Chains A and B, each alone.
Chain A
């Protein structure tokens, strides 16, 4: 089936007068990909994985571009992992991040849902951890404590795999 677009110059020039080169993106596809209408607001509430990467990065004093370079991943991907609840990182990306940040690879994979074995202890620890972390420039004592406790749980998960 063929459609034909207009080449009416007057109409197009009229529309061009209102052109502001602003954002035009629409994206129902991301909703369908999740399989339903419910869930977290898009791009609003980072998961425990995002919190973990952010805090571990800040603990090492790395900026996002520096982390992306060290982990050999795209900067936009690094941004998405830290800030987008719907981010679905690939195993290669998680491996690079875990290596760059000195985190247990198996635990990071489990946290991202890429490992086979579900882990109730990890899930509970992730919820506690995500609730404690705040996106400030320097780690607070509470954040340091939360990060260390959570990395400990990740290590246990890794060892158990």
Chain B
């Protein structure tokens, strides 16, 4: 199942068509990895060659070496509580998000304890990121993926509630998505961010 959506074409400074896929498969995840890997390898090489320390480079790309086989495991197992969405444009995967719908609950009042859509991972293709590319190709990838997660949360009856662990350098993005970080809630160095039902409405502009 897929539909045409709009993303932001940076070079043209205008909205551009893309395909939103609702049921990304494990094979498609592997396909995305094969498309993204050479680009991030080249970016790491370029950064090291330009004098960045290994520590600096790793800080920038620390999320990019995550085990893709492990990522695909819930899809291979056919877990009904897990969905993977993807955005495709120019015959390449531009972003992916995996969401879990059965095992997590809200931490923020007034929804504390109520179910939410939990983001297992969310990533944009490396050529869309300023840290990886001097001329990022597409914008709005992260926002459109977050919109998908929120709409899935609403569809599940969770009121648009979303929770996730943000990579430290991605926290400004999630703050811009109207998400809040309850003090002290962190796991493995990543802070917990949560979108309340009310803020989900604000993110969506309450116009749809």
Taking beta carbons and an 8 Å cutoff, which residues of A are in contact with B? 1-9, 11-16, 18-34, 37, 39-44, 63-65, 74-77, 79-80, 82-84, 86-88, 135
The B1-37 residues at the A interface (CB cut-off 8 A) are 1, 3-6, 8, 10, 15, 20, 22, 37
Tell me whether A21 and B128 are in contact in the complex, defined as CB-CB below 8 angstroms, given that A15-B140, A76-B64, A84-B65 are known contacts. Answer: yes
Interchain CB contact under 8 A, B143 and A1 = no
A-B residue pairs in contact (CB < 8 Å), sample of 29: A5-B20, A6-B147, A6-B204, A7-B6, A8-B208, A9-B15, A11-B207, A12-B15, A15-B140, A22-B170, A24-B95, A25-B166, A26-B165, A26-B166, A27-B63, A29-B66, A29-B70, A30-B188, A33-B70, A42-B188, A42-B190, A65-B45, A76-B41, A76-B44, A77-B65, A80-B58, A80-B62, A84-B58, A87-B65
- Smallest Cβ-Cβ distance to B20: which chain A residue: A5
In the complex, chain A residues whose CB is within 8 Å of the CB of B49: 65
Residue among A15, A39, A87 with max Cβ neighbours from chain B (10 Å): A15
Rounded to whole angstroms, the CA-CA distance of A4 and B187 in the bound complex is 32
- List, in ascending order, chain A residues with CB within 8 A of B118's CB: 28
Given contacts A27-B121, A42-B188, 4 further A-B contacts (CB under 8 A): A11-B208, A22-B170, A27-B190, A41-B188
Are B22 and A3 closer than 8 Å at their CB atoms? yes
C-alpha gap A63/B47 in the complex (Å): 13
Shortest Cβ distance from B38 into chain A, in angstroms? 10
**In the complex, what residues of B have CB within 8 A of residue A8's CB?**
205, 207-208
Report the number of A-B residue pairs with Cβ-Cβ less than 8 Å: 191
- Residues of A contacting B148 with CB < 8 Å? 3, 5
- Complex formed: what's the CA distance from A1 to B80 in Å? 11
**Residues on B with beta carbons closer than 8 Å to the beta carbon of A26:** 119, 121-122, 164-167, 170, 174, 190, 193
Q: Report yes or no: A27 in contact with B65, Cβ–Cβ below 8 A.
A: no
Tell me the complex Cα distance, A63–B11, Å: 36
Contacts of A21 in B (CB 8 A): 10, 128-130, 136, 139
Query: Does A43 lie within 8 Å of B10, measured CB to CB?
Result: no
B55 and A5 contacting across the interface, CB-CB below 8 Å: no
CB closest residue in chain B, given A77:
B65
Q: Does B176 sit within 8 A of A, measured CB to CB?
A: yes
Known A-B contacts A21-B129, A24-B141, A26-B174; A16 and B15 likewise in contact (beta carbons under 8 Å): yes
Q: Let me know if B155 is at the binding interface, CB within 8 A.
A: yes
User: How many Å from the CB of A32 to the closest CB on chain B?
Assistant: 7
In the complex, the chain B residue whose C-beta lies closest to that of A81 is B65
Collect the chain A residues with CB atoms within 8 Å of residue B167's CB.
23, 25-27
Q: Flag whether B169 is at the interface (Cβ < 8 A).
A: yes
Produce 1/0 per residue, B113-149, CB < 8 A to A: 0000011111110001111000010011111110110
Q: Once the chains are docked, how many angstroms separate the CA of A12 from the CA of B205? A: 10
Closest to B167 in A: A25
Residues on B with C-beta less than 8 A from A79 are: 44, 54, 57-58, 61, 65
A42-B62, A75-B41, A135-B55 in contact; A12/B188 too (CB < 8 A)? no
Q: A2-B22, A7-B6, A29-B71 are in contact. Are A83 and B54 (CB under 8 A)?
A: yes
**Among the listed A4, A37, A86, which residue makes an inter-chain contact with B151, where contact means beta carbons less than 8 Å apart?**
A4
Instruction: Give the docked Cα–Cα distance between A79 and B193 (Å).
Output: 28
Return chain B residues, CB-CB under 8 Å to A87. 65
Docked Cα-Cα span, A161 to B183, in Å, equals 49
| A30-B208 contact in complex given A3-B155, A5-B5, A24-B122, C-beta closer than 8 Å | no
